[in-house]
Amino acid sequence: MYDINFTKLISWLIPPVLKSNFLPLLLNAFMTPIKKNYRAFIQYKNESEYRLVNNSQVCYLIKILNDRFDLEKRQIVVSDSVRHEQLYIYISDEGDHKAVSLGEEFIRSKTDFADTGVDFSVLLPSSMQINQNEMYEMQSLINSYKLVGKRYKIVHN
């Protein structure tokens, strides 16, 4: 529907009486700004259709990120975050003075816990190197597609 060949259109619309070598060239020159605006319109239409087809579902978010940042290997993955229970350590003035063995525990980021954590993680392969501008672009892309209120973090494997 949107496929317009301006050269053929000009030749069809010129009356046979006025056809010469010079008139089609002149009309093509006048059509240059229209062709430029037409290409911009087609590009905008394609981007809008891409935006409408893809939504905030995980499968589409993975597709969008891989289309933009990892077109060949497609290794970017979106997964649910691991939610750990918080372990509180009290100082001696706050309760019993008995020594308690904590076992083997790891110091975790505040985003790894169930109450204050993130809802999903974007896992980037270790082979992928992205600069700061690409990281900002990735965050902007995720923010535009994710559901409002969902929190995430970007992790290099």
pLDDT of residue 119: 86
Q: Specify which residues 113 forms β-bridges with.
A: 84
Q: Is the domain of 49 the same as that of 62?
A: no
In tens, the pLDDT along 49-63 reads 999 999 999 999 999
What is the amino acid identity at position 131? N
In tens, the pLDDT along 106-154 reads 777 766 666 667 889 999 999 999 999 999 999 999 999 999 999 899 9
Range of the domain at 33: 6-53
Q: Is the domain of 35 the same as that of 75?
A: no
Q: Is the domain of 99 the same as that of 33?
A: no
The torsion angles phi and psi of 77, rounded to 5 degrees, stand at -130, 145
Query: CB neighbours (10 Å) of residue 124?
Result: 21
The verdict on residue 47 lying in a domain is: yes
CB 88 within 8 A of CB 113: no
The verdict on residue 23 lying in a domain is: yes
CB 122 within 8 A of CB 142: yes
Q: Name every residue whose Cβ is closer than 8 Å to that of residue 44 and which is 6 or more positions away in sequence.
A: none
Q: What is the reported pTM?
A: 0.71
